[in-house]
Chain A
Amino acid sequence: MQLARVIGTVVSTVKNQSLEGRKLLVIQPLDGRLRDSGKPIVAIDSVGAGKGETVFWCRGREASFPFVPSEVPSDCTIVGIVDSVFIAQDE
């Protein structure tokens, strides 16, 4: 999984029918020190995340598992909202 910040939403009316009713968010992947890491991508929300929140997301086929039994085509799903990140200082 990887950390990210929710930076926006995507509205799509003409889309794959199994994406119906799913919230599409634009997220900026972050590294462990919450710095931008890579390009913004589209994620499906599964935990009620909103703009500005720090979240973590799951990639690949497993990203569709939170929606089982419905078959949602996703390779990037937000699966948690971060309360805090602790990073040990480098020795």
Chain B
Amino acid sequence: MILARVVGNVVATQKNDRYEGSRILVVQPIEPDGSDSGSELLALDSVDAGVGDRVIVVREGWSASTSATGRPGAAIDSTIVGVVDTIEC
């Protein structure tokens, strides 16, 4: 998984049906110290994360699809699976 910060969201009415009912968030990958690390990507939300939250993002299809929609087999490759309280390194 990667650490990231939620920076926004995407609205899309015309999309793959497995995305129905899911929030599509824009996340900025970060280093443990919070500095940006690479460019933003999209991830579905499964923990009610909000803009500004630091989060844990799983970047593998089976896990992403299962955590976001309850079952595998969807064209989803990234999902937020946790909101970070603290990071200690």
**Are A82 and B11 closer than 8 Å at their CB atoms?**
yes
Question: From residue 4 to 58 of chain B, which have CB atoms closer than 8 A to chain A?
Answer: 7-16, 19, 24, 26, 28, 39-43, 51-52
* Inter-chain residue pair count (beta carbon < 8 A): 99
Measured CB to CB, the residues of A under 8 A from B are 1-3, 31-33, 37, 46-48, 56, 58-63, 65-66, 68, 77, 79-88, 91
Show 24 residue pairs from A and B whose CB-CB distance is below 8 angstroms, ordered by the A residue: A1-B41, A1-B77, A1-B78, A2-B41, A3-B10, A31-B39, A31-B40, A32-B7, A32-B26, A32-B40, A46-B75, A56-B24, A58-B61, A58-B76, A60-B61, A62-B74, A62-B75, A65-B73, A65-B74, A68-B73, A80-B10, A81-B12, A83-B13, A86-B11
